[in-house]
Amino acid sequence: MPCSQELWRNGVRLVEAELNEVQEAKKEPVDKGWYSYFLWVNWLVTYATLRQDSIQMLIASVAYALITFYVACRSKSLQFCLKMLPGVLLSMFLALKGFELIGGAAFGIALIAALYSNRKRFKMYGKYKSFMAFYGALVLMWIGFVGIPFIALMLGNLGQNVTYTTPRWVDITWSILTCLALWWLFHREQTNGRRFWETMRILYLFPIVFAILLIDWATLIPIKFISGKSALGDDEHDYFAWES
């Protein structure tokens, strides 16, 4: 009897292990509806923009603005930005006052202070490589499609008053590649089990927090609602993560 019970237990463990392996390998997507809806909205807004129909663009812009506001509130990214606002305003106010006294050097000092104050918090970006790849791709596309042609036009027409307008094919290519990059990011995060609201929180906060960390040197000041610990948590705290 003891031998048969032991065999039974071993068999149950093997079955459970196989089921766990299957579930882990399967990686069922989460929040299929929300991911799909947002992608469709993004495609429709892009299509309306490319059509260059003023009525369609107005309707699409208003709808997209309302959806973006709702998602920003639901993902708690808007609340996070509002929590950072006092420190940012104080940093900018003091930097402007410093500019009146010592000129442009005040902004240099403020930048150095912000980099020193938030140096450990920049490391958090390394945890989200897919988002870094997404925004990196957007920057490269902007440099390739807008930055380089604009600089080339300016250099070729020195001393002349010229206006740069992106060609139609550039607008279409840019829009399609941006939508495909967003689809890739969503697909990756969804299959890895990240919920839609957390993905959108990271997507919205990624560039905003980076800019804030570059200017908010007031995180050095140990005052509630201003200090880095109060606004962002400890140095190792993941401020991008979902807050329940």
- The tens digit of pLDDT for each residue in 185-199 reads 999 999 988 999 999
**Contact predicate 228/117, CB 8 Å:** yes
The answer on pLDDT for 26 being more than 70 is: no
Residue 158 backbone class (left: φ over 0; alpha: ψ -120 to 50; beta: rest): beta
Compare 109 and 24 and report the one with higher pLDDT. 109
- Distance between CA atoms of 226 and 216, rounded to whole angstroms? 9
Residue 143: partners with Cβ closer than 8 Å, 6 or more residues away: none
- Mean pLDDT for the stretch of residues 57-85: 90
Q: Which of 49, 30, 228 is nearest to 124 (CA)?
A: 228
Residues 56, 61, 62, 63, CA torsion sign:
positive
φ, ψ (nearest 5 deg) of residue 21: -65, -40
> Mean pLDDT of all residues in the chain?
82
φ, ψ (nearest 5 deg) of residue 208: -65, -50
pLDDT at residue 244, as a whole number? 64
How distant is the alpha carbon of residue 224 from its chain centre? 26
pLDDT at residue 19, as a whole number? 39
